[in-house]
Amino acid sequence: MDWQGQKLAEQLMQILLLAFAVVSFGTGYVLGSFQMMMLIYAGGVVLTTLVTVPNWPFFNRHPLKWLDPSEAEKHPKPQQQQAVSSKKKPAKK
Amino acid sequence: MHSFGYRANALLTFAVTILALMCAMASFSDNLNHPSPSSSVQVLNVNWFQKQPNGNDEVSLTLNISADLQSLFTWNTKQVFVFLAAEYETPKNSLNQISLWDGIIASKEHAKFWTHTSNKYRFIDQGSNLRGKEFNLTLHWHVMPKTGKMFADKLVMSGYRLPKEYR
């Protein structure tokens, strides 16, 4: 999942869950049925899980364009030595 | 949100948080309900009224209890526990409460009821104060919601009097 996909997934999750919460509470209150509220919300949570948790293709529409390795070798980083000694790998997300 | 597990965790946490919020709102919505329950109890007969060998008065009554508690039920009500208590004052205790009958009402459909019964639990005084005693019959109820806090209230019915002599 790329950066924009992650942002999209989080926003989708929050919006979908909140929307289902509002709809289920309203329906439950109007129908006077607590069970109906729970069923609608549970369905909403399952649907949201299916939409946002798996790594769908539409979360990967903005791949990062890394430099070609040969191109990077031609322009070595000045602090490369220091970076290796500290052994901190940049977190790949 | 970069991995499957991270997304699943975030979703679950958020979903449960919202669920708690919905339950809190459901509990709050109970405050919008203003119940108007009604009930009446008739003492049809004093079956017997005697002094036990240990000196305590005991009385057996036949009661006709009718009540309409439908307005207590909201969408957030699981059940209502209801009991009828005899309440009276003696020189020793300013308030004596004796539960005579109780019941659990599981649904709104069953909340309008009447029952013809002798007292389910024994009506025994602590001492010998019941002859000619004026007492109240109080219908107490506890509303048990699906989520949130319990409510309790009561309806006092006064003007009952026990006979002056044992029988």
Q: Is residue A46 part of a domain?
A: yes
Instruction: Indicate the class that CATH gives domain B34-161.
Output: mainly beta
B11 with A7: Cβ contact below 8 A: no
Q: What is the pLDDT of residues A63-80, one digit of tens each?
A: 888 878 888 788 777 765
Q: What is the pTM of this model?
A: 0.78
Q: Is B11 exposed, middle or buried (0-12, 13-18, 19+ CB in 10 A)?
A: buried
Chain B residue with minimum CA distance to A32: B75
A41 with B29: Cβ contact below 8 A: no
CA A37 to chain centre: 27
Q: Which residues of A touch B8 (CB under 8 A)?
A: 49, 53
Q: Is residue A25 part of a domain?
A: yes
Distance (Å) from the alpha carbon of A67 to chain B's nearest alpha carbon: 22
Q: Is B134 helix (H, G, I), strand (E, B) or coil?
A: strand
Residue A85 has pLDDT above 90, yes or no: no
Q: Which residues of A touch B15 (CB under 8 A)?
A: 17, 45, 48
Q: Which residues of A touch B25 (CB under 8 A)?
A: 25
Total domain count for chain A? 1
DSSP A75: S
Chain B residue with minimum CA distance to A10: B1
| pLDDT for res A63 | 87
Measured CA to CA, the distance from residue B157 to residue B80 in angstroms comes to 20
Measured CA to CA, the distance from residue A63 to residue A59 in angstroms comes to 10
B74 C-beta neighbours (distance < 10 Å), count: 20
Q: Is residue A16 part of a domain?
A: yes
Quote the tokens at residue B121: 């639990």
B15 with A17: Cβ contact below 8 A: yes
Q: Is residue A14 part of a domain?
A: yes
Measured CA to CA, the distance from residue B16 to residue B142 in angstroms comes to 29
Answer for the pair B10, B1: CB distance below 8 angstroms, yes or no: yes
Answer for the pair B120, B57: CB distance below 8 angstroms, yes or no: no
Task: Specify which residues B98 forms β-bridges with.
Answer: B86
Give the confidence band of A93 by pLDDT, cuts at 50, 70, 90.
low
Q: Which residues of A touch B4 (CB under 8 A)?
A: 53-55
Chain B residue with minimum CA distance to A29: B75
Q: Is residue A71 part of a domain?
A: no
Tens-binned pLDDT, residue by residue, of chain B (167 aa): 788 999 999 999 999 999 999 999 999 999 999 999 999 999 999 999 999 999 999 999 999 999 999 999 999 999 999 999 999 999 999 999 999 999 999 999 999 999 999 999 999 999 898 999 999 999 999 999 999 999 999 999 999 999 999 88
Among B4, B19, B76, the residue with its CB nearest the CB of A53 is B4
**B26 at interface of A, judged by CB pairs closer than 8 A:** yes
Measured CA to CA, the distance from residue B140 to residue B125 in angstroms comes to 20
Domain that holds residue A10: 1-53
Size of interface A-B (CB pairs under 8 A): 60
Q: Is residue A21 part of a domain?
A: yes
Q: Which residues of A touch B146 (CB under 8 A)?
A: 34
Q: Which residues of B touch A13 (CB under 8 A)?
A: 7, 10-11, 14
Q: Is residue A86 part of a domain?
A: no
Quote the tokens at residue B13: 């946490």
Quickly tell me which residue has 């919460």 as its tokens: A21
What is the amino acid identity at position B64? N
